[in-house]
Amino acid sequence: MDELDRLRLLAELDESHCELNHGPGTKPEEYLASDYIVLPFGYQEDRVREVSARELVVPVCFECAQALLQDEWTLLYCFECGGSRWVNRKLARNAYRHHILWLRGCPDCTNVFGGLYFTDIPRVIGHVELLAQHVMVAA
């Protein structure tokens, strides 16, 4: 992402709403975005052609951005349908240590689980970025 894209996104923050799950009965309009999660990713066309990168940008509110920076919660985000849910690490049966797990398919959109995203592209393991705050989140 170049500087122009950044500036454009930041300028659009005022009109954006958090796209993460705030629980049943909540509306996205109630949560103004204060930041973006930026995840660089690409895909393999076939065995010969190289991976081309683009970026997934998800507007998030202040509350969600803070949760991503702390160790209490793990966000599960499906980039097939944009659905997400938060897992409280203390209450979870599995020991989560990542801040975000990107799923290719989730129970809401498919019966076929396509895998965890970050296992596909070694380059992106480790970090996503919170755009407005200029901080990297260990994913």
**Spatial distance between the Cα atoms of 65 and 35, rounded to a whole number of angstroms:** 7
**Hey, is 63 helix, strand or coil?**
helix
Per CB under 5 A, which region of 40-48, 51-59, 99-107, 129-137 contacts Zn ion?
99-107
Q: Does residue 78 belong to the site contacting Zn ion (CB under 5 A)?
A: yes
Measured at the CA of 112, the angle between CA 50 and CA 128, to 5 degrees, comes to 50
109 binds Zn ion (CB under 5 A): yes
Region of 25-33, 35-43, 94-102, 125-133 interacting with Zn ion (CB under 5 A): 25-33
Q: For Zn ion, what does the binding mask look like between residues 47 and 66, x meaning CB under 5 A?
A: --------------x--x--
User: Per rule CB under 5 A, is residue 18 in the interface with Zn ion?
Assistant: yes
Q: Are 14 and 29 in contact (CB under 8 A)?
A: no
Place of tokens 């349908």: 81
**By C-alpha distance, which of 16, 19, 23, 18 is closest to 86?**
23
- Binding residues (CB under 5 A) for Zn ion: these are 18, 20, 31, 61, 64, 78, 80-81, 83, 106, 108-109
